[in-house]
Structure 1
Amino acid sequence: MLFRLLLPLLLLAAPVLAQTPAQPTAADTARLRRHLVALTTTPEPRNYQHLASLNQAADYIKDELAAAGGRPTEQPYEVQGQTYRNVLAHFGPETGPRLIIGAHYDVCGEQPGADDNGTGVAALLELARLLGGQPALPYRIDLVAYTLEEPPFFRTPQMGSYVHAAALHAAGVPVRGMVALEMLGYYDDRKGSQKYPVGPLKWVYGSRGNYVAVAQKFGNGRFGRQFARRYKTAAGLPVKRFKAPAWLPGIDFSDHLNYWHFGYPAVLLTDTAFYRNKSYHQPTDTLARLDMRRLGLAVDALLAVVRQPDS
C-alpha cells in the first residue's frame, strides 16, 4: 500500500531528475580537434602581420568562452598603429585572490601553429567548458588568451601577457599564481626523441618525449610546488617536474615570464616545445602530428588541480 501511495510521487520526480545535467569531468577530444581546426584554418596565419586572421581567432575564442559560461571581456592595446587584444573570461567567485591560466593565440611567421600554440588555446577553451559545468569553484579563475607572444614582440612590453600582468600589478589585484599553457599536443614514445638544454638531464628525465613538463624557476614559492605536486598526482600520463635557474634555456620561454617580472608565482605547462617537436615554428606544425588523447589527459589533470581548495 505504501508503495502505491509513493509511486505517483516518484513518477512526477523522475522527469526532474532526468533533466539534471551531468557535471563534466573529462576533456572531449572531438572538441579539442574542432578548436584546432578553427585556429589553423584562418585565411592567413594568425600572426601580427595578418590582423584579420588574428582577429578571427580572437573572435572564435571569445565566442567559445561565452558559450562555456564565462564572462568574456577584451583587453585591447595599440602597437605600431594597430590594435591588438587579449581575450579574457573568469569563472568562480567575483572576489578574492585569483588564479590566472593563459595561452597565446598568435603564431610565429607563415605557419599553422597547431602545437604552437593551438594546443594551448584548445586546452584553455576545453578547460573553460569544464569549469562552466562545475557547481562551485573554490576561488576565482581567470582564463586569458594572449596576443603577440611570438617574435618580434617576445620579451618586450608589447607581449599580451606583459600587458595583462602589468594591469593586474597596477590595480593591486591579488594573484594566487599563474599557469602558462604552451604546446601540449606533441608526444613521441621513441628513445632519443626528447632533448634537453643540458645533455646530462636525459639521464634524470629520460630520452622519450612522452610526458608533460611542469617547469618553474628556483624561488617560485609555495604555489609552484603545490601545483606541480598536485598535477603529477592527478595526471593520467607521465609528468616531469623541472625546477631550474631562470637563465636555463627554455625555462622562461613563454608568457609566464611576464608574471615573474611583476613578482607573481608562475609555472609553465608544456610538451617541451622545440626540445621535442622538430616542427616548432615550421610549416609542418600541423594538426595531423598531434595526439588528441594525451592532450585531453593534460586538460583533465589541470581541471583536477584547479578544483582543489588551498591546503
Structure 2
Amino acid sequence: MTYKRLLFSLLLVLSITMTACSSKDSIVENPEFAQEQTDFINELDVENIYASLKKLTKEPRVAGTDSELQAAAFLTAQLKMTGYKVDVQPFDFERYVMPDSHSLVVEGFDSPLSPAPFQYSVAGNATGELVDAGHGLKADYKKLDVKDKVALVAVADTPFYELVLSASDAGAKAILLYFPDESEIDKWSLGRERYEEFIPALALTYEEGRKLLDFVKSVKSANAAVSIEGARIEKATSQNLIATKQSSTESNDDIILIGAHYDSVDEAPGASDNASGTAVVLELARIFKVVPTNKEIRFLFFGAEEEGLYGSEKYVSALTKKEIKQSIAMFNLDMVGSADAGELSIQTIDGADNTVTKAASRANKVLNGKSIETDFGDRSDHTPFHNAGIDAALFIYDPVEEWYHTPEDTIEKISKERLLNVAEIVGTSVFKLTSPSINNE
C-alpha cells in the first residue's frame, strides 16, 4: 500500500469517528464501510489509465473522422471486455473544416509574414488597400473609409468575432488582426454563431503587425491580398457511447452519470484534452462493474464536444422526463491529467454548490486534507445537464496548460499522479453516493 493510500485509510477512519453523529446532511458511516471504500480506492490502477491514454493519443481524434470512430471502437472493446453492454448513440452535426491553404501578400512589404487562420475563418480572396483601423472598434470606423479595403487591427479586449463583424459592417473585404506582444496566435476561434456574416480573417504576431503598421504609415498607399482556401462547414456523423451499471437494489431508481468527451481538435493528439478524462472514466467503469451499488451508474463517452458540445446535447435531448428526474448527479471529466496546468478546479454553470461538488469536496478533504471551493465554468459537457435541471460539475486542472489545443498536447506531458488524484476523488464521491452500506438521504 502506498503512503498516500495508507494516509487515506487513517484519515477516513478519523473523519468517520469525528462525524458519526453530525448534522442531518452528513453521511452516516461505519468502520466496515471505511474498509470497503479503502479496498475500492486501492483497486484503481493508474497504469490502466495511462495505457488507455497511450492508445487514444496515437493520432488526433477529430469529430466525424475515421480517427474518432477508431477511438470509439477502442473504448467499446474495452468496456465489453469489462462486461458491459455498450449502447451506441449516433448523431449528425455540422463541423468546421480548417483551410487547405492561406496566404497574405502586401505590396512593397519585404519582411516575412506568417499569418494564421482562426477557427471559423471563412474562405475567400480579397485584395484592397491596407488601412490602419486602430483597435477595430465601431468608433474607429466612423473616422475611416475601409469600404472594399483590408483592415489592420490591433487586438485589445474586444472579442475576435466582434472585430471581424465591425470591419465587415464598415465595408472591409478582409481583416488582419495582430496580437498583444508574446500572445499565441495558433489556437484562437471566432466562434460559429455569426459565421455567415464573417469576412476573411487572418492573425499576425505582434511584431509582424507593428512592422506592417509602420509600413502603412510610411507609404501613401499599399494593397494587401488575402487568400483563404478550403475553409467550410460540412455535415458529419459522430457517436456517444453509453455503458450502464445497473443498481444492485430495486428500491432506488436514482441515476449517477460520469462522462468525458473523447474527441480532440485538429492536429492535436489530445492527451490532456481529453484522453485524460476519457481514460479515467474508463477505469472507473472497470472497478465499479463488480461493486454493489444502490443506484444506477451510467458511464458516458461523448463525441463532437470540440465542435460545440454536440454529443452531450444529443444525450440529454434523448433523455425522458423520468430519466432527467432520476439523474441526481453528473460528473464531467475534461483535462484532468496535465502536469503543466493549474490546480484542480470543480466548476458549475452558476458557480453554486450542488450534489456533485459537495460529494467531491468531502472526498478531497479525506484524500488530500482540504475541501475544494466551487468555481464558475461553462465550456464543457456538464452544461447541457445543468440546463436540463441535473446537478452537474466539471473536473479540470485550471488554468489550462499553455499548449492547450496544439500538437504539443502529448502523453509525455501527462501526470500519473494527477490522473489518479481525480480518479480517487470522483471514485470516492460516487462510491459514497451509491453504496448500499450508508444512508445517502
Per the TM superposition, whether the score is higher than 0.5 is yes
CA RMSD of superposed structures (Å): 2.3
Cα gap change, 1:282 to 1:100, in 2 (>3 Å): same
Distance 1:175 1:184 in 2: 23
Map of 1:47 onto structure 2: 62
Identity %: 26
Note closer, same or farther for the CA distance 1:30–1:243 as it changes in structure 2 (3 Å cut): closer
How big is the shift at 1:222? 4.0
Q: How many residues align?
A: 253
Structure 2: distance between partners of 1:146 and 1:91: 18
Inter-partner Cα distance in structure 2 for 1:237 and 1:57: 37
Q: Structure 2 regions of 5+ residues with no counterpart? A: 1-38, 95-234, 434-439
- In the TM superposition, what is the alpha-carbon distance from 1:48 to its structure 2 partner? 2.2
Report the counterpart of residue 88 of structure 1 in structure 2.
Answer: 242
Partner of 2:220: none
Gap change, CA 1:234 and 1:127, over 3 Å in 2: farther
Question: What does residue 391 of structure 2 align with?
Answer: 265
Please name the residue that 1:185 is paired with.
Answer: 337
Contact 1:76 1:85 in 2 (8 A): yes
Provide the residue aligned with 2:78 in structure 1: 64
Q: 2:298 aligns with which of 142, 159, 162?
A: 142
Instruction: Report SS of the residue matched to 2:348.
Output: strand
Matching residue's letter, 1:48: A
* TM-score of the aligned structures, taking structure 2 as reference length: 0.53
Structure 2 CA distance, aligned partners of 1:302 and 1:77? 28
Give the TM-score normalised by structure 1. 0.74
Matched residue type, 2:260: A
The more displaced of 69-78 and 79-88 is 79-88
CA contact (8 A) 2:344 2:396 kept: yes
| Mapped partners of 2:280, 2:244: distance in 1 | 15
Find the aligned partners of 1:277 and 1:219 in 2 and give their Cα distance. 22
Alignment partner for residue 78 of structure 1, among 70, 92, 95? 92
Q: Which residue of 2 aligns with 1:116?
A: 273
Q: Distance in 2 between matches of 1:65 and 1:144?
A: 11
2:374 to 228, 235, 242: 242
Equivalent pair of 1:101/1:144 in contact (CA under 8 Å): yes
Tell whether 2:311 aligns with 1:297. Answer: no
Q: Structure 1 counterpart of 2:319, which letter? A: L
Equivalent residues of 2:354, 2:392 under 8 A apart: no
Paired position in structure 2 for 1:15? none
Q: Is the 8 A contact 2:346 2:393 kept in 1?
A: yes
Counterpart secondary structure, 2:384: helix
Query: How many Å apart are 1:242 and its aligned residue?
Result: 2.3
Matches of 2:370 and 2:408, distance apart in 1: 26
Of residues 68-77 and 178-187 in structure 1, the stretch that sits farther from structure 2 once superposed is: 68-77
Compared with structure 1, are the counterparts of its residues 292 and 172 closer, same or farther at alpha carbon in structure 2 (3 Å cutoff)?
A: closer
Deviations 1:102-144 (A, max 9, x none): 100011121100000010001011111111132x012111010
Q: How does 1:152-231 map to 2 (within 5 A)?
A: 153-154=308-309, 159-169=310-320, 172-173=323-324, 174-188=326-340, 209=342, 211-218=343-350, 220=352, 222-231=354-363
Counterpart CA distance in 1 for 2:279 and 2:370 is 20
CA deviation profile, 1:140-168 (whole Å, cap 9, x unmatched): 110100001003x34xxxx1000111111
Q: Unaligned stretches of 5+ in structure 1? A: 1-21, 189-193, 195-208, 245-250
